[in-house]
């Protein structure tokens, strides 16, 4: 059984590939695959912009698409010699739509030094991924670079996002970062576009991104969002939570209840785990983990989030947290039409919150 690649491992490999491209250390084959399209496209674009100069690209760089191509034609393209240059570049985009892709082994088992083949295979579902047992896959590993692009889990994106924001010359406040993440989710490509939008929109001379900037330039309300709802619930601020829920109910397309329930479930999981570690410390004499270890243990994304959990954990007992997780599971089913009693999403959310607070 193949080892499941972690997001941070994929990022390390991605950075290593970019460094090798910058140093002009090219492989004969690049098999770029996985469920996160952003990194696949980023490597392919970097290669396309780096290997050949602008004049050479007209003669020696060709892009084909899986749906419109046949493996035999791609093999013939790869066997051609470059014109007036050292390399020929063949880019196969949307390779997941290429019929009998394994037949490319007729080239990849004996690639030419003068051809660089770039295969972009985006499999959004694991079941549609490439078969690693084939001679085609093994030959790509032997003679080239195989990169697996992994989509991050919710708790894995913060470190990468902070690093990316810094690379653009911006600094983002924790609340603004949480709002941006809650708005976009784990879609890296969309996240990059939103950060770039901030970068070009920020007033000249300003680099610190606040929640007001996110509201103004991205269009996310700094008062009515899942981050603010989670904060109100965590603090047991009933009036504020119900006000936000009422706003959500009047804007169901912008605030789908299934997403809100997922966010709240993550919050109560974190509170439950923190409560458990505190119980171990009190009752069993087990030392509390240090800050970084505790962040990992309770799945907090950053020190800002951990501080909020610590400040408010005393407001909740263990049984209350356990009951809240049960209610969230129940209302997740109701939000999908199971025993909902005909209530819409907004009414279900308000009913759920009242039961949690009670």
In a domain, 302, yes or no: yes
Tens of pLDDT, residue by residue over 260-285, are 999 899 999 999 999 999 999 888 88
Last residue of a domain, one of 173, 201, 218: 218
Residue 298 within a domain: yes
Distance CA 29, CA 313 (A): 53
216: Cβ contacts below 8 Å, ≥ 6 apart? 201
Residue 176 in domain: yes
Tell me how many domains the chain contains: 3
Q: Is residue 2 part of a domain?
A: no
Residues 207 and 301 placed together within one structural domain of the fold: no
CB atoms within 10 A of CB 144: 20
Q: Which residue ranges in the chain fall short of pLDDT 50?
A: 1, 126-127
Residue 1 within a domain: no
Residues 176 and 282 in one domain: no
* Lookup: tokens for 308: 């909020």
User: Looking at residue 337, which CATH number applies to its domain?
Assistant: 1.20.272.10
pLDDT for position 42: 95
Residue-number span of the structural domain to which 161 is assigned: 154-218
The predicted structure's pLDDT at residue 328: 94
Tell me: the pLDDT tens digits for 104-131? 999 999 999 999 999 999 986 544 568 8
Q: What are residue 72's phi and psi, to 5 degrees?
A: -60, -40
Return the half-sphere exposure (C-beta side, CA atoms, 13 A cut-off) of residue 67: 1
Give the pLDDT of residue 172.
Answer: 85
> Do 37 and 115 belong to one domain?
yes
User: CATH no. for residue 15?
Assistant: 3.40.50.300
Single residue among 133, 149, 165 that ends a domain in this structure: 149
At residue 5, the pLDDT reads 77
Boundary of a domain, candidates 149, 165, 193: 149
């Amino acid at each position: 059984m193949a080892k499941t690649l972690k997001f941070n491992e994929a990022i390390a490999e991605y950075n290593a590939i970019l460094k090798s491209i910058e140093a002009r250390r090219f492989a004969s084959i690049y098999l770029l695959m996985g469920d996160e399209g952003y990194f696949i496209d980023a490597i392919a674009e970097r290669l396309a912009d780096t290997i050949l100069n602008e004049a050479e690209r007209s003669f020696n760089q060709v892009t084909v698409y899986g749906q419109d191509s046949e493996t035999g034609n791609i093999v013939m393209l790869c066997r051609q010699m470059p014109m007036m240059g050292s390399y020929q570049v063949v880019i196969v985009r949307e390779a997941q739509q290429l019929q009998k892709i394994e037949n490319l082994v007729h080239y990849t088992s004996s690639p030419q030094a003068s051809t660089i083949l770039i295969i972009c295979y985006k499999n959004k579902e694991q079941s549609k991924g490439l078969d690693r047992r084939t001679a085609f896959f093994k030959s790509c590993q032997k003679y080239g670079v195989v990169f697996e692009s992994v989509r991050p889990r919710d708790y894995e994106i913060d470190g990468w996002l902070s690093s990316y924001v810094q690379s653009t010359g911006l600094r983002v406040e924790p609340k603004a970062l949480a709002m941006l993440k809650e708005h976009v989710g784990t879609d890296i490509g969309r996240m990059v576009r939103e950060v770039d939008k901030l970068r070009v929109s920020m007033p000249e001379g300003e680099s610190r991104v606040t929640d007001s900037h996110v509201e103004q330039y991205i269009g996310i309300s700094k008062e009515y969002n899942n981050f603010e709802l989670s904060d109100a619930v965590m603090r047991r601020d009933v009036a504020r939570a119900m006000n936000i829920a009422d706003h959500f109910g009047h804007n169901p397309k912008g605030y789908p209840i299934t997403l809100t329930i997922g966010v709240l479930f993550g919050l109560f999981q974190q509170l439950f785990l923190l409560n458990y570690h505190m119980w171990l410390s009190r009752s069993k004499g087990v030392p509390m983990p240090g800050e970084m270890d505790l962040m990992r243990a309770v799945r907090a994304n950053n020190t800002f989030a951990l501080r909020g959990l610590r400040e408010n954990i005393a407001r909740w007992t263990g049984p209350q947290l356990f009951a809240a997780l049960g209610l969230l599971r129940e209302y997740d089913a109701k939000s999908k039409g199971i025993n909902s009693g005909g209530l819409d999403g907004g009414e279900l959310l308000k009913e759920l919150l009242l039961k949690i607070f009670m």
